[in-house]
Amino acid sequence: MKKILVDYKKCTGCRQCETACSASHFDGEVNPEKSRIRVYIDEENSLFHPVISGPFTNAHCTSKNIVIMDGVEYDECVVCRASCPGRPWFFEPGTKIALKCDFCGDPPDPQCVAICAHGALQLIDDLGVSRIRKQKKKTA
C-alpha cells in the first residue's frame, strides 16, 4: 500500500498542491476551495502544514486535543483530516459535498505529491509506523 508522507517542516506555504488537486479532480478548474488538500498557514509562527482530507463526520468534536508544533500550541482542527461542520475545508462550494482524498492515479500518483517542489509531500511504500520512525532517527 502507498502512503503520503507529510513533512510540514519542508512546506513553504505555496499552496501549489491545492491548485493541482482541484485541477485534476474538477476538469482543469483551479480552486483551492475544491481541493482535498489544504495548507494551514500561521505566518506569525512561521508554520505551514498541509492537511489531506479524510472521512466526513457530521458533527463537531465534543472534546479536542491540543497539538504542539515547533513549540506552539494549536487547536487539533489545524491538523485534523476530517471534513466536519466545524471547519470550511473539504466541502465543495455550492453543493457542500464532502471531498475526500482518493489517492488519484492508477497506480497511485497523487497530483499534490507530483507538484510539490520541496518534498513536503512524498509518496512512499507502507513501511509501517515503526520503520518510519527509525528512518527519521537515522537521518536526524
Quote the least distance from Cβ 118 to other proteins, whole Å.
Answer: 7
**Which residues 81-140 are close enough to bind other proteins by CB under 8 A?**
87-89, 93, 115, 117-118
Nearer to other proteins, 22 or 53 (CB): 22
Residue bearing cell 487539533: 76
Answer for which of 4, 6, 48, 121 binds other proteins (CB under 8 A) is: 48
Q: Is 112 helix (H, G, I), strand (E, B) or coil?
A: helix
* Residue 57 is a binding residue for other proteins (CB under 8 A): no
- The CA–CA distances, whole Å, from 11 to 55, 56, 119 equal 23, 25, 8
Phi and psi, residue 97, nearest 5°: -70, 135
Contact range with other proteins by CB under 8 A, out of 44-52, 61-69, 98-106, 122-130: 44-52
Contact range with other proteins by CB under 8 A, out of 37-45, 54-62, 100-108, 125-133: 37-45
Nearer to other proteins, 12 or 135 (CB): 12
Q: Which residues bind other proteins (CB under 8 A)?
A: 12-16, 19-20, 22-23, 26-34, 41, 43-44, 46, 48, 87-89, 93, 115, 117-118
